[in-house]
Each structure stands twice: as C-alpha cells, then as structure tokens.
Structure 1
Amino acid sequence: MTLLRRSLSMGEGPGSAGHVLSLLRAGPLTRSELAELTGQARSTVVQRLESLQAAGLVREASNLTTTGGRPSVAFEFDPTQHAILSADLGIRRATFAVTTLAGEVLSQLEEPIDIAAGPGPVLGLVAERLRWLGDVAGMDPIAVGIGLPGSVDRSGLPVAPPNMPGWDGTDVRAVLSEASGLPAFAANDANVLALGERAAAWPDVDNLMYVHVGTGIGAGIVADGRLLHGAEGAAGDLGHIFAPGARGRACRCGNVGCLDTYASGAGVLETLRLAGSPLTSLDEVLERVAAGDADVAGVLRDAGRVLGDVVASCVALLNPRVVVVGGRLGMAGEALVAGVREAVYARVLPLASRELRVTAARSGSSGGVIGAALLAADAALSGDLLESRLRAA
C-alpha cells in the first residue's frame, strides 16, 4: 500500500508503466505480485514489463531464493543500461560525475570554481565537464541533476541566494537542458546531499536530517523516505534561523543573529578574528584542527553547540532517526559534531532521542553527485518523461 501511494503521488495511474517501474525499483517482483499490487490483469502487467524491458529499464531477476518447486520468474529494475550526469556546486569547488540510474558513481572529477563568476561561466564549465564524463563512460545518459549552494525553489530556480551573486532567477534547468539535450533538474545542495548520504550510508533509514556546514548552513530533510521541500522549496534553511548564541551579529541576508553568523565557516572565522587569531581561511582552520590546536577545536565545538541548539528544535519537530553533519566544517574531525551532539542530547526529550544518532557524514565528496543523480533519475523515470522514453524505445 505504501508503494502504491508513492507512485500515485507522482501522478501515475495504477498499473501504468511508471507505477510498475516504481514498484520494481523497491525490489524484485513476479508478474502475479505486480498484478496484485497494481490491481491490473496479468496481460496488462506483461505489456508493461515488455515495454520497460525494451527500454532497458527492467530485467529478469537473478539469485532469488526459492522454497521448492519451479520458481516463478521475477523482474527487477535495471539501473545499468542508462546513465545520469550530475554536478554538485560549492562556493569554490565543484564535483562532477556520471552515475548509473541507482546513483552508483562510474566516473567523477573535482575542480575549483568561483560561484560568484556568475551562471554563464559556471554553467558553461558544468556542461563541458558533464559532456566529457558522458563520453568517457560510453553510456546513454537520460538526465542531468545539479545541486546549487543557495536557495532554490521547487521549480529549480535560484531565489536571491546570498552566496551566489548574479544567479537570482537563472533558469539553471533550461540552460543545462539546452546544452546537453537532456531533461535537467536542480535543487539546493543540502537536499541533494541528504539524498546522497542516505543512499550511501543509511539506506534503511526513512527519516534523516543532513546538516551542511560550509560557508553557510543548510539542511536537507528526508521524511518517511521522501525529500521534504516545503511549500516553496525553502524547507531546511537553517542558516537564517535566529540563534541566541549569535545575538548581535549582522548577517548578509539583512537580519541580525542568524545561525550562519556564528556556526558557519564565515562565523567561525569571525569568532577567531574577534579573539585575535591570525587565521583568515577555512583551509587554515582545518589545518590547525588537524594539527591538534585545542583553541581552534574549542571554537569549533562552541559553534557546534550553538548549531546544536537549533538542530535540537528540528529534532523535536521532525523526529529524525539520524542527524548527519557534513560540509567542510562538519567533516573536520570530531569537534563540531561533538558540540552538536552535546546540545541535542541535552535538550531533546527521551522519546525523540532514545534511538537518535548524531554523526559526521560518511559519503565524502561523492554524496552531492549521488544525490543529484538520484533526484534526476526519480524525475526522469516517472510521468511524461518516462512515457516519452518508452514510446521512443
């Protein structure tokens, strides 16, 4: 029933090819099982399977256990015949990849960028790198996915992103679609990181919150197995929540006391500056932490506590099973994560915290491109896009 509701929520009728494919993406099923789940005649299910097989999206399953007798033929999603091109953009660095439809990275590269150079130069580079990766992989790409380091609405448009001057209202999807000839999909970087982290490290967890701590702070929220966007796509904008520990600090958004001003990379550098530290970049901060500098680690732990106070409110509201802290600061040793954990467990009531995990990200540099690929694959394998692909097969 859960799977049926999921497919219907994507605008696919019971028994449609999209419905059948969504069921098979959850695991192998026989024709009889598909007929029961879709409520369709076996002949209809056979037709749907034939069209999906012809399009290279479904195959006969192998290595299934049997209980005796002649085993029924089962079918499963085949993620290996087509590819997704994906990119995860940061303020100063980008990761590009080509993946299978299941998000398995086939080839990946990273290089410096300057997001402030504007959408023209940056998206031109993205298109060039993804085209090259697609050629190297030698597979048929069906979509492009990209994560952006700023506010993105539900249609994929950046909306006044503070860290991305010149990007407001840029139709990133249209630019990449025109450059690649493929449907393109865009989301906030924290959202794609949440999807990637879940796929890479927590595949059995349906409720997860990914807190991305870099130049700014954002969160991606997976609730009951689905990404939570909110009404306009602004869910998870933690960086601009008021934090008592940041009281009096002016934020680039125009408000005062935003979490970003204290617990982000920029906030940590400001705290160090006010303390008379000569450190002026996150690279220097991370080097000092790695070298065992207790004073710098203490600043990070304190930033983690301030961040943890905000995360604790989110935990009380959303009740995730796992809170993942990632980004450049989130993966800089234990200091920041320990501060978050300390504040969360001190403030959250026992029912929400008894099985809660607060941990550093595990997906590394691949998390964003995996998540962007899964975002694009989900969109490309449903609705009108899937039907167009099946007609062309």
Structure 2
Amino acid sequence: MSGAPDHHLSSAPPSSPGEVLALLRTGAAATRADIARITGLARSTVSQRVDALIAHGFLIEAGAEAGDSTGGRPPRRLHLRTREHVVAGVDLGASHCRVALLDIAGVQLALREDQLSIADGPSSILGHVERTLHALLDEAGLDPASLQSIGVGVPGPVEFTTGRPVDPPIMPGWHQYPIPEFFADRFGVRALVDNDVNVMALAEQRRAFPDTRYLLYIKVGTGIGCGIVADGRLHRGAQGSAGDIGHIRVGDSRQEAAPCRCGNSGCLEAVAGGAALARELSDLGLDAASSRDVVRLVKSGNRDAVRMVREAGRAVGEVLAGLVNFFNPDTVVVGGALAAVHDQLLAGVREAVYRRSHPLATHVLRIEPSRTGADAAVVGAAILAIEHALSPEQVDRVLAGASPR
C-alpha cells in the first residue's frame, strides 16, 4: 500500500525476514543487493531471508525490466506476491453492511453492499457478513484459506486491544460482543475491530493524503466523530475512545439546552449532527427524518436546510478550532453523510476554524472534503487487515511456524 508508515521494528530481531519484507513493501529495496546494502547483512543471510519469504508465498523474484541493468547480468527484482493472499474489509453502519475483498497489495477484487440494521444484533449481522465473505471468495475464485486477516469498522466505541464494542449507543446487544472470536472460529484468521471513524481516517491518509503525517478526519453524519492520525499512525488513546468529539459541549444558551442521546445536553452531536438537523427541519413542517433527507433538501435549494447546515458547520468548526490549536494537524478531512453538501458545510467549518485558531496552527492547514467517500470505512478496514498481515511481527510468526492467526 502506498503511503504506509514505517514500522517500529524493535520487537523483532535485527533485519528479520519480516523487516526485510517491510523494506521491499515500502519500496526502500527492490533486489537482494539493495537489502544487503541497507541492512549490512551478509549476502548469504539475505539469501536465507529472501528464500524463506519466497517459500512461504510472500515474495516472487523476476528478471529486471529492460534498461534496469548497467551492464552484465541484470538484477532480479523482488515483488510482493499478491496472488491468493487476500484480506477482507467490513464496514458495519447503522443501516448498511459493506464487505470488500482486496489482495494484500490493496487491489479490490470484489465488493457487496446490503441494507441492514445494526440493531438486529451481532448474531444476525455477523452471520450475514460470514455468508457474504464466502460468496465474495467464490466470486473471486479463491479458497477460504487464502484469507489472511479481516478488518472491521463499527459505528460505536471499541476497545481496540480486545476488539469488543463498549456501550455503543446505536448498537443494542453488541456491548462486549467478541467480534474477533466470531471470525477466528469461522475463518481461522485474526479480525481487527475498530471504530468506523478511525478506519475512515486511515483510508484517507493512506489513499488520498499519503504525504500527510498529522490528519484529523471529521465524520458528520447522524452523529459526529473524529479519527486521528499522528505521525502517520492511528491514535486511539489509552482505551480507544480518542476522538469522541460528538459529546463536547458547544453553543449558545439555546443550543446548550439541546438534549443528547448520551444523557447530557448541548453536545456537538445534538446541535450539528444529521439527526438533530432532520428533527429541526421536521419541526418546520418539512419531510426530513435522516441525514439523507437533510442533504436532499439542501441540494433542492431549501433555504432553511442550507442555513442549518451552514450553522452546523460553524458549530463543528468551533470545536475543531480547539483541536487545531491543540493538535496542529496539517490536514482536516470532512466526511460522513453531510459531507455530500460540503460546499455549505465546509464554508461554516472554515469560517470558524480560521477565525478561532492561532495563525501558526493554520499556516499550512488544509480543510478538505473526503476523497474516499462512501468507500472510506470498508477500504480503511481492509488497510487495517493488510497492515496486520504484512507487519514484521506477523510475518516472522508465520515463518517461525507459529500460528499466523
């Protein structure tokens, strides 16, 4: 995957096979000679590492392209072997399920989306994901054994170390449900589960802004959340709840009275979330029950909807200004359902951020609409799976004969 971060390799032996693969995967090396030069390993040791990676199906070695040689025998180049090595990305939303199959180079092989309610519970939803994964593997002509890992994004707080949702407000029946164990029992692979906003942030940074090291992804949909990329890595905090900006108190006296589903009042989500805007528009007699209806009304030119989205952008911007001063990102990406009307939303966001943030914090700051769009969560979940499957530690476990799962 382009734009993947350098791995911290301190837990692996110096220049282990996993580290060698990381050099090749990131483009730092392309041949055995490159590896020897970069690592200082003896050629015989490099050959042992490379031969083991080839034997286990991680690499292939082929002759150089014409023009690569400067005389004599052309160097043989090493490439990541993508055939029959795949991962799955799973995006579970409040009312949808998207499952994608990608090879370990990040090329999408198959995708399916279905309308489902997350409130149906884990047995029903995960059973559907299981059936969908088998169908996609069949569609791609692949054996289930080719599946290396699974990434899952869910619309609620997740304790990343265990992969279990924790008191997710719109996911009844999911609290502490063992999602990773569900997939391990059925596919024999590790599943990495994260909050959907985190995997969206990962997708934007890796795919759309690979040169960005400090990025905030703001999801403005039914609710509001933030994914944080710090020095090229997802920042989840001590327990996985970093970025929960939807419940920061905002606004004037009227807004501060707005009740929130968390039990408090005046939360950003209760003031600027898609559900809150839909309720306000409905109170005005308009046909609005969801974020999609808000978007429809804005696109049709309804003045009340346009005004409310612009005001919502200002409210988001007020909170974001504090984050910009504190975190000093170089890129802020705004996604989610309301980003479909980003001209109005981002106008309000930018107005507040540039008015309230320190000039040094905004000197190189760019505030952009999402570039990965509806694919953000499913792609980000797949990237999470790829980076696990190709991490030096995981590769070394496979080569050592330990369980790769």
Taking the aligned partners of 1:52 and 1:200, their CA distance within structure 2 comes to: 27
Moved more, 28-37 or 129-138: 28-37
**1:197 alignment partner in structure 2:** 204
1:209-264 alpha-carbon deviations (Å, 9 max, x no partner): 11111221111111111111111111111111222354122211122221110111
SS in 2 for 1:369: helix
Decide which of 151, 156, 166 is 1:150's aligned counterpart: 156
**What percent of counterpart residues are identical?**
42
Matches within 5 A, 1:24-39: 24-29=24-29, 30-39=31-40
| 8 Å contact kept, 2:110–2:136 | yes
> Does the residue aligned with 2:271 lie in a helix, a strand or coil?
helix
Task: Tell me by how many angstroms 1:36 deviates.
Answer: 4.4
Instruction: Call closer, same or farther: CA 1:306–1:128 in 2, change over 3 Å.
Output: same
Within the candidate set 238, 250, 259, 1:250 is matched to 259
8 Å contact from structure 2 (residues 235, 242) kept in 1 = yes
Most deviating of 280-289 and 81-90: 280-289
The match for 2:93 is 90
Question: For the structure 1 residues 55 and 260, does the alpha-carbon distance in structure 2 shift closer, same or farther, using more than 3 Å as the test?
Answer: same
Compute the displacement of 1:282 (Å): 2.5
Q: Secondary structure at the match of 1:231?
A: coil
1:165 aligns with 2:172: yes
Structure 1 residues 265-280: aligned runs within 5 Å:
265-280=274-289
- 1:173 maps to a residue whose letter is P
Decide whether the 8 Å contact of 2:88 with 2:147 is kept in 1. yes
Partner of 2:157, secondary structure, is coil
Residue 207 of structure 1 pairs with residue 214 of structure 2: yes
Aligned to 2:15: 15
- Return the alpha-carbon distance in structure 2 between the equivalents of residues 350 and 134 of structure 1: 51
Separation of aligned partners in 1, 2:352 and 2:182: 43
Aligned pair partner of 1:344 in 353, 366, 369: 353
Which amino acid in 1 is paired with 2:230? A
| TM-score of the superposed pair, with normalisation by structure 1 | 0.91
- SS, match of residue 90 in structure 2: strand
Change (3 A) 1:292 1:188: same
- Shift in alpha-carbon separation, 1:141–1:4, aligned structure 2, 3 A: closer
Counterparts of residues 129-140 of structure 1 (less than 5 Å): 129-139=132-142, 140=146
How big is each residue's C-alpha offset from its partner over 1:133-186, in whole Å with a ceiling of 9 and x where there is no partner?
122112322111110000011221101111111111011111122122222111
Whole-angstrom CA distance in 1 between matches of 2:81 and 2:318: 43
* Unpaired stretches in structure 2, ≥5 consecutive residues: none
Q: 1:321-360 maps to which residues of 2 (within 5 A)?
A: 321-360=330-369
Contact 2:21 2:392 in 1 (8 A): no
1:259 corresponds to which residue?
Answer: 268
Counterpart residue type for residue 175 of structure 1: F
- 2:320 counterpart residue number: 311
* CA deviation after TM superposition for structure 1 residue 22, in Å: 1.9
Deviation for aligned residue 1:369 = 1.4
Letter in 2 for 1:136: E
Q: Identify if the C-alpha distance between structure 1 residues 124 and 295 changes in structure 2 by more than 3 Å, giving closer, same or farther.
A: same
What residue is the counterpart of 1:376 in the other structure? 385
Counterpart CA distance in 1 for 2:397 and 2:113 is 33
Shift in alpha-carbon separation, 1:225–1:78, aligned structure 2, 3 A? farther
Contact 1:101–1:373 (Cα < 8 Å) also in 2:
no
Alpha carbons of 1:243 and 1:78: their partners in 2 closer, same or farther (altered >3 Å)? farther
Deviation digits for residues 186-229 of structure 1 (CA, Å, limit 9, x no counterpart): 11101111111223321222221111112211111111111111
Q: Which runs of 5+ in 1 are unaligned?
A: none
Q: Tell me, in whole angstroms, the C-alpha distance in 2 between the residues paired with 1:196 and 1:216.
A: 20
Provide the rounded CA distance (Å) in 1 between the counterparts of 2:202 and 2:67.
Answer: 30
- Deviations, residues 15-62 of structure 1 (Å, cap 9, x unaligned): 112211222221151334323444433322221111212223223475
Matched to 2:164, the amino acid is L
Segment of structure 1 superposing worse, 229-238 or 26-35: 26-35
Q: Is the 8 A contact 2:5 2:232 kept in 1?
A: no
Query: Is the CA contact 2:274–2:294 (under 8 Å) kept in the aligned structure 1?
Result: no
Partner Cα separation in structure 2 for residue 214 and residue 366 of structure 1: 15
**2:367 is matched by which residue type in structure 1?**
V
Give 3-state SS (helix, strand or coil) of 1:334's partner: helix
SS at match of 1:185: strand
Instruction: Provide closer, same or farther for how the CA distance between residues 237 and 38 of structure 1 changes in structure 2, counting only shifts above 3 A.
Output: farther
Alpha carbons 1:28, 1:75 under 8 Å: kept: no
CA distance in 2, matches of 1:5, 1:328: 32
| Counterpart selection for 1:114 from 114, 117, 127 | 117
Verify the 8 A CA contact 2:18 2:393 in the aligned structure 1.
no
Indicate the SS of the match to 2:382.
helix
